[in-house]
Structures are given as C-alpha cells and as structure tokens.
Amino acid sequence: MSKTISLNVKCPNCNKSLMDNEVQVNERPSIKLNVETAKDRGTIRLCSTYGCYDHQCDIDLPDGEIARFFCPNCNKELVSKDKCESCDAPMVTFTLQLGGKVYICSRRGCEQHFVAFEDLALELRKFYHEYGF
C-alpha cells in the first residue's frame, strides 16, 4: 500500500479552509495554523498527508511540549474535549472537507491521531470517490 491520503481540512468554528496552497510540505498544500507554546507563538504548517508528522514551524517546538493550535482566520483554539489515549494531552481537531473529523495529539512527538466519521459508510464512499481507490 503506497497510496497516501491527503487531508483537506477546515476550521470547525468558522468553516474556512485551513489549506495553504502557496506553501507546500512534501509537495502538497500544507495545513496552516497559528501555534502557541508556553514561551512563544508563531505559525506552523503541517503536512496534509494522513499519518505524516512532517511540519514547518517558525518557533522552537521542543519534543514533549504541548502546543496550542489556533485557526488563522477566526483565532479560535482548535481543541477537542478528547484526551490523547497515549499521553493524556488534549487532542486537536479539524473538520474534513468531505465530512467527519480528524484528531491529532497536541504533544510534539506523540503520534496519536485518528479520523472520526459520523457516517462511516457514506464518508468512505466519498473518500474512495475523491481519491480514486
């Protein structure tokens, strides 16, 4: 299985796309967010490939640090009520353009993440249609 799923996400609060076509990570549009740590704030661009943790960040993000992520459009914090199953940090959430949500752990270095669909069968059909599996 070499096919990768590229996520297309938007803000759960204002519904604006979080994709940045101008700056690419791994040759795909990046997910652009404002990021804040205990010491600093800046901009982060996440790789949009599902399961990939590559990112570009203009501030120092030490391993193990819990960062807070904000929508660059409405400035609301992108945080869910869920806690990470591995490390107990808050899970960050985005809405998928196709429906459903993706969750990622807010702790740097933790690889916990999952996609949650409200209607799995329907969303998966859309997914297959969109990505041509």
Residue of 44, 92, 102, 105 interacting with Zn ion (CB under 5 A) = 105
* Smallest distance, Zn ion to C-beta of residue 120, A: 24
Report CA torsion sign: 77, 82, 88, 93. negative
Which residues does residue 105 pair with via DSSP β-bridges, in sequence order? 91
Instruction: Indicate whether 13 belongs to the interface with Zn ion (CB under 5 A).
Output: yes
Place of tokens 């459903």: 100
Instruction: Indicate whether 71 belongs to the interface with Zn ion (CB under 5 A).
Output: yes
* Whole-angstrom distance, CA of residue 20 vs CA of residue 34: 13
Residue of 50, 60, 86, 130 interacting with Zn ion (CB under 5 A) = 86
* Smallest distance, Zn ion to C-beta of residue 16, A: 5
- For residues 16 and 10, the answer to whether their CB atoms sit within 8 Å is yes
Residue of 84, 92, 96, 98 interacting with Zn ion (CB under 5 A) = 84
Instruction: Indicate whether 87 belongs to the interface with Zn ion (CB under 5 A).
Output: yes
In this structure, the number of other CB atoms found within 10 A of the CB of residue 9 comes to 21
Residues 19-58 that bind Zn ion (CB under 5 A): none
Q: Which two tokens stand for residue 23?
A: 């700056």
Q: Which residues bind Zn ion (CB under 5 A)?
A: 11, 13-14, 71, 73-74, 84, 86-87, 89, 105, 107, 110, 112
